[in-house]
Chains A and B, each alone.
Chain A
Amino acid sequence: MRVGPGAYLLLSALLFGIGVAGVLIRRNAIVVFMCVELMLNAVNLSFIAFAKVNGTLDGQILAFFVMVVAAAEVVVGLGILVAIFRKRSSASVDDVNLLKG
């Protein structure tokens, strides 16, 4: 008995699902952000498992770039959160309803 790529993909799917549930359920914008990070990481795990399947390093490079983009996204996202918090004194996603009709 050994660990095939299927086990990693299954785990990746589970983690992605937990991340999706978190984004849909949680109201705190920072926790929603963390759930997005969890989803990105789950996909990274898939990429690296596929790299192992193909026997090439391209999947690992892709995971590396996903990390770069995630870092940029976190910086800008948290900047927006802080800016919103200054205006509204709240980090709940429900309080950002200026565009609501």
Chain B
Amino acid sequence: MTALLAKTTPAEQAELVVFVVLAPVSVLSALGMVLNRNAVYSALLLVVNLFCLAGFYVLLEAQFVAAVQVIVYAGAIMVLFLFVLMLLGIGNEEVLKETIRGQRPAAVVLTVLLLVAVVGALLAGVFEAEPVSLAPANEGGNTQAIGRILFTRYVFAFEAAGLLLVVAAVGALVLGKRRP
């Protein structure tokens, strides 16, 4: 282990340690979210998962996206989820009866097949690249660099995203309105 660690820089060792700690937490919280019968616990476990992902983003030199992840996802979106959960007042009365017979085993089999396909492709070496340092791209700070290309190359997508958010807000108002 020490021989293995000797060849790496301290930054890489730190990345390894953080990854080894966060990866099981993220997978277990995702599993817990799917398997937990209580929807509120599911939501809280999803928050744990989103925080882990924010940690990975920091490891991958995406500090801005990590901050947005915490603020938008773990903050706004999950609060919205919990709001709706409380509003609908759903306890833990999940229906266990299968509407389509054999759906659950079929779902598990299909998921395992999907995972075998994707992981197999990864292990077969479809993708074997060395990470490049983002330091040149991140010149002057990650947020500044993101802002620079967001408002030049991606300015049309940015405006379209703004339009989409307006449409979504109006749509939510229309859907939420009580009709007499």
Contacts and interface: CB of A to CB of B under 8 A. Distances in A.
Interface of A: 1-11, 13-22, 24-28, 30-31, 33-35, 37-38, 41, 44-45, 48-49, 51-58, 60-61, 63-65, 67-76, 78-83, 85-86, 91-92, 94
Instruction: Please tell me the size bucket of the interface on B.
Output: 35 or more
A45 B53 contact: yes
Interface of B: 4-5, 8, 12-13, 15-16, 19, 23, 26-27, 30-31, 33-34, 39, 42-43, 46, 49-50, 53, 56-57, 59-62, 64-65, 68-69, 72-73, 76-77, 80-81, 84-85, 87-88, 90, 94-95, 99, 103-104, 106-108, 110-112, 114-115, 118-119, 122, 127-134, 136-138, 142, 145-146, 149-150, 154, 157, 161, 164-165, 167-169, 171-172, 175-176, 178
| A interface secondary structure, majority | helix
Contact of A53 (B90, B111, B118, B129): B129
Nearest to A80: B175
A18 B62 contact: no
Contacts of B49: 15, 38, 41
Given A15-B27, A24-B103, A57-B149, A94 B128 contact: no
A5 B127 contact: yes
B6 to A, nearest CB: 10
Given A6-B122, A6-B127, A76-B175, A34 B33 contact: yes
B4 A1 contact: yes
Contact of A2 (B8, B154, B164): B8
